[in-house]
Amino acid sequence: MEFRPDHCPCQEPKCAGSAGFQYQRRGHYTRACDGRRVQRFQCKACKRTFSTQTFRVDYGLKRVSLDVKIFLALISKVTQRQIAKTHHCTLRTVARRLDLFGKQGRGFHEWRMRMRGIATPWEGSSSSTSSRPSSTTAA
């Protein structure tokens, strides 16, 4: 399946407000970390270039090979300190991945809730029943 960008990643008003987003292909490059071919694009409004990589969750990360290892360790309840020691990275690397996985998971959950027509995601349980979201379905 071919990737088609649906918006310009620059987030400037002239690009964000325009209804018809137009771009053109601008070559490609090969990722050094895994040899994957990455398509480049150029926004016709602001002339900025971006790529399929710009929209990926691992955009800007240095050690992409650690992502799966850190994720599997985190869901196995391994401490962040132990993960850093095992995979020869800093504690900060593990902490940033944890934050990234949390944001990505939350975004995916919110997207799935919108797909199902549920307006707000569930914020978790609490002791009082009045704190539950009152409007769980979209009008």
Q: For binding to Zn ion (CB under 5 A), which residues are involved?
A: 8, 10, 15, 43, 45-46
Q: Which candidate, 22, 23, 21, 55, places its Cα nearest to that of 38?
A: 55
Nearer to Zn ion, 21 or 71 (CB): 21
**Least distance from Zn ion to the Cβ atom of residue 9, Å:** 8
Q: ∠ CA(65), CA(71), CA(72), 5° rounding?
A: 100
Nearer to Zn ion, 43 or 84 (CB): 43
**Least distance from Zn ion to the Cβ atom of residue 6, Å:** 12
DSSP secondary structure of 19-86: SS--EEEEEEEE-TTT--EEEEEEETTT--EEEGGGGSTTTT-S-TTHHHHHHHHHHTT--HHHHHHH
Nearer to Zn ion, 43 or 94 (CB): 43
**Least distance from Zn ion to the Cβ atom of residue 32, Å:** 26
**Least distance from Zn ion to the Cβ atom of residue 53, Å:** 17
Residues 6+ apart with CB under 8 A from 49: 26, 40, 41, 42, 43
Nearer to Zn ion, 8 or 83 (CB): 8
